[in-house]
Structure 1
Amino acid sequence: MHNESNNIEDYLEMNEVIDYDHKLIADKCRELEKGTEDEISLIKKIYEFVRDDVHHSGDIGEMRVTCEASEVLEFGHGICCAKAHLFAAMLRFFGIPAGFCYQKLCSSEDVNKKVLHGLNAVYLKDLDKWIRLDARGNRPGLDAQFCIDEEKIAWPVNKELGEEDNPVIFKEPNPTVVEVLKKSNDRKELWLQWEPGLRDLFGT
């Protein structure tokens, strides 16, 4: 992995999608902060909240498409990229640098079709290292965990099947992905328009 920007401050910025000044996010962050002993325990608590308490839209059959961090929190669900927006926003609220990572994976329905998956990278100040965390949400067959020494994401890539990790830790959500999320009226429409994000990030 390598950073899109060498300026750590770029991984703390707020914008229309990463809207951590929203009252819903601020209130939830302060609630989760209670009882945490240090920054790493706070990151773990936020990660597990987004992973477990905010649903993946597909897992619950929810057709609404969410995008902005506050919207994901308000409705309690989002697809992987949307949940990554919320996770980053909640970390940045506390001044914890967080970036965005993307994978090209085989579709669960057709191994020859590729889909885009979004997750996060988080900077651990005490250890001076970035780690990837996947807050997509676990289900049978998926077991993403908060782990510092060994990466435990939902889908390690299978290069033999043409899967890829984009090696960049982006400072902002991919603009094509954001555009597709915002213009899709429902999740069915979203999947039909997902190809531009793949092309933008992987050239295919």
Structure 2
Amino acid sequence: MVDMAQDAQTISSKQFHLEVGVDDWRVVSSGAQAVFRASSLRHAASLVDPISAAAEEHGILPDIDVRPEAVIVRVPPWAIGGIPPAAPRFAAAVSAAAARLGLRADPGAVQSVSIYIAQHSEADVRPFFLAALGYLPVGETDAVEALRTAPDLAFNPVTGDEPKRGRSHFDVFVPAAQAQARVDAALAAGGRLVDDSQAPAFWTLASPDNHGVDIASWLDTDG
């Protein structure tokens, strides 16, 4: 997915987590993210104005997902290819507001989901999926849903494969502390371990009918 390495406009995951007031937040493939549990839709919605005020103050364009049970706040990386330098200050302000309003942070609920579409080396399938799904291109190989409400896509060339066969799988990015438990739960639910040679970075699993899922232990303090 998008490289979130530090450049003139971005900070690394490690730099984000070294800042004060960001303990509620985790960095995954969709950027810095926090989940705040709520007791009702009205309770959840009470955090929207403080988020908007913090966003305006710090020049951040967050995604806010308000549900009766929780508010999900993300700082998406797509616009500048990484984490904005002001993101930690924004995150700290949102966390402080959530605490004042009695919304409980739940870092273990943070995750992002990607669909990896494998394509034969002689095929270019991204234009088809952009058109069919109404997604927008990101960089040379990725795509996102226009309102960022659905899983993002990555297109990975496969050399030596049969042109008539498409191979795709899900990538589930979770904070490092949650990865092993997610793997164990998937195996207990009938999954099969295909490859753990890259663990704890990621495990490749298969469903009982052989659909692929990679569970990635997103190393959100790297860099």
Normalised by the size of structure 1, how large is the TM-score? 0.29
Give the number of the structure whose residues are more often strand, by fraction: 2
Give the number of the structure whose residues are more often helix, by fraction: 1
Normalised by the size of structure 2, how large is the TM-score? 0.27
Q: Which has the larger radius of gyration?
A: 2
